[in-house]
A and B are shown apart, each in its own frame.
Chain A
Amino acid sequence: MKVGVVTFPGSNCDYDSYTAVKHILEEEVEFLWHKSTDLAGSDLVILPGGFAYGDYLRAGAIARFSLIMEKVIKFAYSGGMVIGICNGFQVLTECGLLPGALMRNHHLRFSCKFVYLRVEDNTGRFTNACRKHEVLKIPIAHGEGNYFYHDDVVRALEENGQVAFRYVDRTGEVTDEANPNGSLNNIAGIVNREGNVLGMMPHPERAVESIIGSVDGLKVFESVRAACVQVAGAGGK
């Protein structure tokens, strides 16, 4: 598996993602500068957390027009795997690869803490290493993670099994108290209809070593690795 981590001006979790892939997963990884137009043969592109272009205008609004994003969008439309984490999720909704919008947290505060996520579907490319309804402990760090869209679209997301992760309490129950930002239906992460693009507010790359509190984030990356092997086995790249 070869992973490309995009660096926008203002990205600040690019090294976290790079480190998780290189030193924990021990896979090949490369930074992709925002002005580059080459994805360097990546099997997976990560749009990392941070404040791309200072989050000016709206989070992700300027980043989506950067040169590298043209390539990332083409890559995604041709079936390439893309994960947007936190600010990266905001970029993915702004550019239309994922539906909806991430609004200011309902309590207006920046929230930085461990949360519990329930894996809603474990058959996808990003969750196949998890058990169905497994509860993962992964940190969040955002001020604008309040997932919103019209009711009928959210209903369609639910029906299509596009909700990947939901905020829950430690026992796996969906509660208002477990929802850290006011997201509709406690949505923490979604995939596109085709299942090759994931956006999530929590940071799996920050939960890859027990010394930093959790290793549950590794399952997302291990799922992608398994999906890559499957593609290769099926005669793909």
Chain B
Amino acid sequence: MSDNKKVVVYVRLKDGVLDPQGVTIHKALIQMGYTDFVSVRSGRFFELEIDDSGGDIDRKIDEVCSKLLANPVIEKYVVEKA
């Protein structure tokens, strides 16, 4: 059995940053008749499997998120431990 650590990283646009995809999806929902849906924000997630025997894993996860997975200029991220 693998005892690797698993985390999920959710990356989304910061509040206030226009999300044209979310807006377009929302427009489609309205057109489909789902008028009770007020807004849509899109994002993406990453499932990471980590051999944590090297230690210092939280710092490494944070680095990976801020250096690569998310662009801190426009995006924010949340790490969810499985």
Residues of A within 8 A of B39 (CB): none
Question: Which of the four size classes fits the interface of chain A?
Answer: 10 to 19
Are A103 and B74 in contact, with the CB atoms below 8 A? yes
B43-82 Cβ-contact flags toward A at 8 Å (1 or 0): 0000000000000000000000000110101100000000
- Alpha-carbon gap, A100 to B24, bound state (A): 24
Shortest Cβ distance from residue B43 to the other chain A in the assembled complex, whole angstroms: 13
Question: Is A212 an interface residue, CB under 8 A from the partner?
Answer: no
Are B21 and A148 in contact, with the CB atoms below 8 A? no
Residue of B with least CB distance to A99: B73
- Alpha-carbon gap, A83 to B63, bound state (A): 28
Question: Is A205 an interface residue, CB under 8 A from the partner?
Answer: no
Are B17 and A148 in contact, with the CB atoms below 8 A? yes
Residues of A within 8 A of B24 (CB): 108
Shortest Cβ distance from residue A1 to the other chain B in the assembled complex, whole angstroms: 33
Residue of A with least CB distance to B72: A101
Are A148 and B74 in contact, with the CB atoms below 8 A? yes
Are B68 and A61 in contact, with the CB atoms below 8 A? yes
Residues of B within 8 A of A103 (CB): 17-18, 20, 74
Shortest Cβ distance from residue B26 to the other chain A in the assembled complex, whole angstroms: 13
Residues of B within 8 A of A182 (CB): 18, 20
Whether A100 touches B73, Cβ cut-off 8 Å, given contacts A106-B18, A108-B20, A108-B24, is yes
Question: Is A93 an interface residue, CB under 8 A from the partner?
Answer: yes
Interface centre among B21, B24, B68 (most CB of A within 10 A): B68
Are A106 and B71 in contact, with the CB atoms below 8 A? no
**When the two chains form the complex, which single residue of A57, A101, A108 contacts B73, counting CB atoms closer than 8 Å?**
A101
- Alpha-carbon gap, A93 to B73, bound state (A): 9
Enumerate the 6 nearest inter-chain pairs by beta-carbon distance, A residue then B residue, closest first: A101-B73, A101-B74, A108-B20, A104-B20, A106-B20, A108-B24
Q: Can you list 25 A-B contacts with CB-CB less than 8 angstroms, sorted by A residue number?
A: A57-B68, A57-B69, A61-B68, A61-B71, A65-B68, A94-B71, A99-B73, A101-B71, A101-B73, A101-B74, A103-B17, A103-B18, A103-B20, A103-B74, A104-B21, A105-B20, A108-B20, A108-B21, A108-B24, A146-B20, A148-B18, A148-B73, A149-B73, A182-B18, A182-B20
